[in-house]
């Protein structure tokens, strides 16, 4: 089973850290068929707004980065949905 975690902004990164740790601790070691796939939307693309949280919270590198960047809310949402 694949579990896809979509991360876009800092609050989501922080919440996803707890979920990722629980998945690794409780499932991935005992059941190799369960795997988390992390998709980063790329809304926050500089180190201090994104990667610093991945590093500090020891979250695995995202499997995919949508590189949405910045823009109007509707445009960013549309780009994320299209790329996902």
What CATH number does residue 34 fall under?
Answer: 3.40.50.2000
Residue 79 sits in which domain range? 2-83
pLDDT value for 64: 95
| Distance, CA of 36 to CA of 26 (rounded, Å) | 12
Q: Where are the alpha helices (DSSP H) in 1-84?
A: 10-23, 51-56, 73-83
Q: Within its chain, how far is the Cα of 6 from the centroid?
A: 5
Q: What is the pTM of this model?
A: 0.82
Give the model's confidence band at 28: pLDDT under 50 very low, under 70 low, under 90 confident, else very high: low
Token digits of residue 71: 């823009």
- Report the number of distinct structural domains present in the chain: 1
């Amino acid at each position: 089973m694949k579990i896809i975690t979509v991360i876009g902004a800092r609050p989501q990164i922080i919440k996803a850290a707890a979920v990722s740790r629980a998945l690794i601790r409780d499932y991935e070691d005992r059941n190799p068929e369960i795997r988390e796939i992390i998709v980063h939307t790329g809304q926050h693309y500089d180190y201090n707004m994104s990667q610093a949280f991945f590093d500090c919270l020891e979250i695995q590198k995202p499997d995919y980065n949508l590189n949405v960047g910045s823009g109007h809310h509707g445009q960013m949402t549309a780009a994320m949905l299209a790329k996902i």
